[in-house]
Structure 1
Amino acid sequence: MSDNLSNKFRLRPMEKADLEVISHWFQDPEDVALFDRTSRVPLNQFQIEESWKAVFTAEGAGCKCWFVVENSSGEAVGLAGIESVSLVNRDAVVAMFVDKSARRTGVGIRATALVVDFAFRQLGLNRLTSYYRADNTSSRDLVARIGCQVEGTMREAWFADGQFHDMVVVGVLKGDWAKRRDALAAELSDDTQVSLGPNASAAWTWPPKCKSG
């Protein structure tokens, strides 16, 4: 990606029609097993629709929120979501997946930071949890940059590639994020931007010092 336009991404609410577009992401068992401990076999279209149906119901709206990450051409290049929202405990699980075609572009860290902002500023949550396979260094480095702290290791809790892997549990509190947010924004260049919605203001663009347009 060389020109400014191609480095602009946006988050928008996930739609049912997106399932057909992103279905090929769930066809690579090795890749999926690196990011999702529940996936073991490639999913067909019906199975994908069944596994995601709660996202599109009124009941599901209160406990999960998923966004599609689009490039400047309107092509889906990733997913970012908030799962298992508890309004009583004011916590949730944050998840991020980037298609192989868009990895190493910086979109993952920016999209995740934007979702974390959304969780704390818009949903009023106080804590976010995430999990990763111990050998997944990309996920490890991403959540560390967000300010997540390692809170424990579930030994041999993730089976993939014929062996058991440890699963690392991390968490970030609203107070942690308040301390980390400005430093992370300063670390990230304006060359790549991720915005929430088609007409996002600078307040909903990451890095937040960017101006929309």
Structure 2
Amino acid sequence: MPDNTSNSYSLRPLEKPDLTAITQWFQDVGDLALFDRNSRVPYDMATCEKLWNMTDTPQDQDDKCWFTITSEAAGVAGIVGLERISHVNRDAVIALFVDRAIRRQGLGIRASALVLDFGFRQLGLNRVTSYYRKDNAGSRDLTSQAGFEVEGTMRQAWFSGGKYHDMIVVGLLAENWNARRDALAHELGEETVIAFGDGMTSGSKWPPQRSAAL
């Protein structure tokens, strides 16, 4: 059933000032261990600048695009992005992080849906992949709701908390997204909207049925 929240959020390209919020989030080693398979040391600003290519001498990169989730009330509420974009294979990996204070309110699935729409309909992707630790119920539920299918298990591939966890691989094809898109929009309802810019153009808002007043 549609949720009962009533919020408007915007999605814009990640900017250097946003790294302050990211650095604060990833002082929590537990959250970091769920988001980043390869890092256990809390992020400092230099680490964030390097990871998101915002040093004083940035490198040209066309294999990733990251967005900041913002609202007037919450400020920087999360980040969502596409990594490892392949213009040959037409695929990418999606990643998401939402501030702990506003999780489980439907923001993550809407932000992911908008980026999936962007990837499939604007970048011409044919496939999007994601990975999550087996005990990460939030990522499991979100990817399942979006229409991803479990494609495999990498056994003991994620070390955290003194033990090895299995890593789940999920994938979503453009044809499956197109089949799932309208039903997902109906399920989520229109009480919460996330949009690029003013959300007035086709494919720039989620859910896609209405304009967002941001």
* Structure-1-length-normalised TM-score: 0.92
Aligned partner of 2:43 in structure 1 is 43
1:33 aligns with 2:33: yes
Paired position in structure 2 for 1:72: 72
Deviation at 1:174, TM superposition (A): 0.3
CA spacing shift, 1:106–1:202, aligned 2, 3 Å: farther
Worse-superposed segment, 146-155 or 30-39:
30-39
**3-state SS of paired residue (1:200):** coil
Does residue 142 (structure 1) correspond to residue 142 (structure 2)? The answer is: yes
Alpha carbons of 1:201 and 1:134: their partners in 2 closer, same or farther (altered >3 Å)?
same
Which secondary structure does the structure 2 equivalent of 1:158 belong to? strand
More helix by share: 1
Residue 73 of structure 1: how far off its partner (Å): 3.5
* Aligned counterpart, 1:92: 92
> In the alignment, is the contact (CA less than 8 A) between 1:202 and 1:212 conserved in 2?
no
Partners of 2:46 and 2:96 lie apart in 1 by 23
Output the CA distance in 2 between the equivalents of 1:159 and 1:169.
Answer: 16
What SS does structure 2 have at the residue aligned with 1:140? helix
Tell me which stretches of 4 or more aligned residues in structure 1 moved more than 6 Å: none
Measured in 1, the distance between the counterparts of 2:189 and 2:160 equals: 36
Within 5 Å, give how 1:123-142 maps onto structure 2: 123-142=123-142
Shift of 1:201: 1.4
Give the distance between the partners of 1:151 and 1:133, measured in 2 at CA.
14
Distance, in Å, in 2 between the alignment partners of 1:43 and 1:83 is 19
Which amino acid in 1 is paired with 2:150?
A: V
Deviation at 1:96, TM superposition (A): 0.8
Give the unaligned 5+ runs of structure 2. Answer: none
Secondary structure in structure 2 of the residue aligned to 1:59: coil
Q: Report the TM-score when normalising by structure 2.
A: 0.92
CA offset digits 1:34-83 (Å, max 9, x no partner): 122112111222222122216994621x1000000002346101000000
1:177 equivalent in structure 2: 177
Residue range with higher mean Cα deviation, 25-34 or 71-80: 71-80
* Fraction of identical pairs, as percent: 51
How big is the shift at 1:20?
Answer: 1.8
Q: Is the 8 A contact 1:8 1:194 kept in 2?
A: yes
Match of 1:200 in 2: 199
**Contact 1:202/1:209, CA 8 A, preserved across alignment:** no
Q: 2:157 aligned with 1:167, yes or no?
A: no
**Partners of 1:144 and 1:158 in 2: CA distance:** 20
Q: Does residue 59 of structure 1 match 2:38?
A: no
Residues 212 and 44 (structure 1), Cα distance of their counterparts in 2 relative to 1, 3 Å cut: closer
Distance in 2, matches of 1:82 and 1:109, equals 15
